[in-house]
Structures are given as structure tokens and as C-alpha cells.
């Protein structure tokens, strides 16, 4: 297989690349790599030590955003970046909003605190971690959800009425929030919640989520409507 995605499947960035490849209809191999306990020689493939890495034959590409742009040029159909200049910029911005904004808060305060650390320690999250996560959701994340709700409006997709990198970049990190027991409440963010459910049901997302749930997704049943 000439395309290989390296990185733990539960990473929102790895998931972004895998759903991107699935939406392109491209077959690939996936190799689990834990960036905190990497295989020998990992830094030669990933100079910053991060996942994902894409191998395309002898070529090595780093960073999920760079990888997706590479894949777009390598496999132009179906296009997953808008053609119009402004739409293109909006799609890139939404990707950055999620990667640099949403993930920067939700990864440490929700997923790592409530799912990863308890898994590694083999004991449930303590009351402080629960309270910190709730506070982060209410104070830091809720305004981001308001922004996403407004940006989506009544549309099916975030940009230009069709699936793009923006939709994959938004839907992927919310899977980790879901694993941690958080999703936008239907009452306050109805459009965003319905969008996420549509995206997670797509053939690009559904099998990946199904793979992850038995290990990481036990708290998802706590999600209120
Ligand atoms: N901008 C990078 C971010 C990748 C990233 O932060 N990955 C995390 C896992 S979700 C990682 O590899 N962390 C290990 C580390 O920072 O040492 C991308 O989009 O690929």
C-alpha cells in the first residue's frame, strides 16, 4: 500500500486525515503510533515528534493540515477545498479555529483529563478533573460553539454548501469531546449538534468512531440532549 497514515487513531488530527482520505475514496494503511512512546527512529519521520505522519511511497509528509493539502493536489477529485478565494480562506480559518482554538482547550481539559489519564491510571477521573472540564466547557468552549452555530447557520455544510476540509476539521475533534461525555446541547446549539450527528454517521467517520468507542468512548452515554 503506497499511502500509510501513522499515528494513534484517537488523535483528532489523525482522524482528520483518515476521514479526508475516506472522502477522497483513497485506500491507505493505518499504523498506530503513540507519540508519547514512539518507535525507534520516529524523529526522523516526525521532527517535532507529533502525529500524524503520512508516507506516500518514499515521501514523508508532516502535519494534518499540510497532509490534507498535499492529498488534495495528489487526488483532486472530489475537491475538498473550495475553489472560490474567500470560501477557501473561510475553510482554512475554520480548520485553524478548531486545531488551534478548540483542540487547544478541549484536548487537555476534556479528553486527556477525563479519558486518557484515567485510562492510563486505571481509575476514574477525580472530582477536580470533572469540575475543571465542566468549567472549561461552560466558560471557554461555549463561546466557540456559539461561533460555530452562527457560522453554520441553516446550511448543511460550513462553506459553500458542500463538504470541505472545514467540515472534517470541525467534526473530528468533537469526537474526542464526545468520548469525554460532552456534546453541544441540542437546545442551545441545535444546528451544530445536528451537523455533528450527520457527519459522524458518514461512512468516513462511522467506522472510525465504532473502532474507538469500546476503548475511549465509555463516557459518551452520559451526554445529555
Ligand atoms: N499541527 C499538528 C498537531 C499535531 C498534534 O499536536 N498531535 C498530537 C496528538 S493529538 C501529538 O502528536 N502530540 C505529541 C507531542 O506533542 O509530543 C497537526 O495538525 O498535525
Query: Which pLDDT tens digit goes with each residue over 141-184?
Result: 999 999 999 999 999 999 999 999 999 999 999 999 999 999 99
Q: If you average pLDDT over residues 28-52, what whole number do you get? A: 98
Measured from the CB, is residue 95 less than 6 Å from ligand 1?
no
Q: If you average pLDDT over residues 32-45, what whole number do you get? A: 97
Q: Report which protein residue has its CA nearest ligand 1's atom 11.
A: 50
Measured from the CB, is residue 28 less than 6 Å from ligand 1?
no
Measured from the CB, is residue 46 less than 6 Å from ligand 1?
no
Where helices occur in the chain by DSSP H, the ranges are 12-24, 42-45, 64-74, 85-96, 103-106, 117-121, 127-135, 142-152, 165-179, 190-201, 206-216
Measured from the CB, is residue 11 less than 6 Å from ligand 1?
yes
- Cβ-in-10-Å burial (0-12, 13-18, 19+) of 157 comes to middle
Question: How many angstroms separate the alpha carbon of residue 54 from the centre of ligand 1?
Answer: 13
Measured from the CB, is residue 189 less than 6 Å from ligand 1?
no
Q: If you average pLDDT over residues 72-88, what whole number do you get? A: 98
Q: Report which protein residue has its CA nearest ligand 1's atom 12.
A: 50
SS3 91: helix
Q: If you average pLDDT over residues 132-137, what whole number do you get? A: 98
H/E element holding 29? strand 29-31
C-alpha 128: how far from its chain's center? 26
Q: What is the pLDDT of residues 182-222, one digit of tens each?
A: 999 999 999 999 999 999 999 999 999 999 999 999 999 99
Question: How many angstroms separate the alpha carbon of residue 50 from the centre of ligand 1?
Answer: 4
52 prior amide bond cis, ω within 30:
yes
Nearest to 19, CA basis, from 185, 151, 199: 199
Helix axis angle for 190-201 and 142-152, nearest 10°, is 80
Q: What is the pLDDT of residues 88-133, one digit of tens each?
A: 999 999 999 999 999 999 999 999 999 999 999 999 999 999 999 9
In this prediction, residue 149 carries a pLDDT of 98
- Ramachandran angles phi, psi of 7, nearest 5°: 145, 155
Query: Residue 57 has which C-alpha cell?
Result: 511511497
Q: If you average pLDDT over residues 4-9, what whole number do you get? A: 98
Q: If you average pLDDT over residues 24-43, what whole number do you get? A: 98
In this prediction, residue 1 carries a pLDDT of 65
How far apart CA 92 and CA 110 sit, in angstroms, is: 25
Measured from the CB, is residue 106 less than 6 Å from ligand 1?
no
In this prediction, residue 224 carries a pLDDT of 84
In this prediction, residue 154 carries a pLDDT of 96
Query: Residue 150 has which C-alpha cell?
Result: 452562527
- Mutate which of 51, 115, 169 for ligand 1 pocket (most atoms within 8 A of beta carbon): 51
Amino acid at each position: 500500500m503506497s499511502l500509510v497514515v501513522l499515528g494513534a487513531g484517537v488523535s483528532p488530527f489523525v482522524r482528520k486525515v483518515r476521514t479526508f482520505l475516506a472522502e477522497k475514496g483513497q485506500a491507505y494503511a493505518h499504523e498506530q503510533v503513540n507519540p508519547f512512546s514512539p518507535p525507534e527512529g520516529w524523529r526522523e519521520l516526525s521532527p517535532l515528534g507529533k502525529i500524524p505522519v503520512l508516507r506516500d511511497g518514499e515521501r514523508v509528509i508532516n502535519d494534518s493540515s499540510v497532509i490534507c493539502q498535499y492529498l488534495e493536489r495528489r487526488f483532486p477529485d472530489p475537491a475538498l477545498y473550495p475553489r472560490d478565494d474567500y470560501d477557501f480562506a473561510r475553510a482554512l480559518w475554520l480548520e485553524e479555529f478548531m486545531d488551534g482554538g478548540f483542540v487547544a482547550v478541549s484536548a487537555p481539559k476534556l479528553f486527556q483529563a477525563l479519558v486518557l489519564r484515567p485510562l492510563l491510571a486505571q481509575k476514574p477521573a477525580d472530582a477536580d478533573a470533572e469540575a475543571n472540564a465542566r468549567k472549561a466547557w461552560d466558560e471557554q468552549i461555549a463561546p466557540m460553539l456559539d461561533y460555530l452555530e452562527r457560522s453554520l447557520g441553516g446550511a448543511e455544510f460550513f462553506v459553500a454548501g458542500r463538504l470541505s476540509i472545514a467540515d472534517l476539521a470541525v467534526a473530528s475533534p468533537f469526537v474526542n469531546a464526545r468520548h469525554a461525555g460532552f456534546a453541544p446541547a441540542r437546545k442551545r446549539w441545535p444546528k451544530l449538534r445536528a451537523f455533528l450527528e450527520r457527519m459522524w454517521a458518514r461512512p468516513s467517520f462511522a467506522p472510525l468512531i465504532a473502532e474507538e468507542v469500546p476503548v475511549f468512548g465509555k463516557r459518551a452515554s452520559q451526554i445529555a440532549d
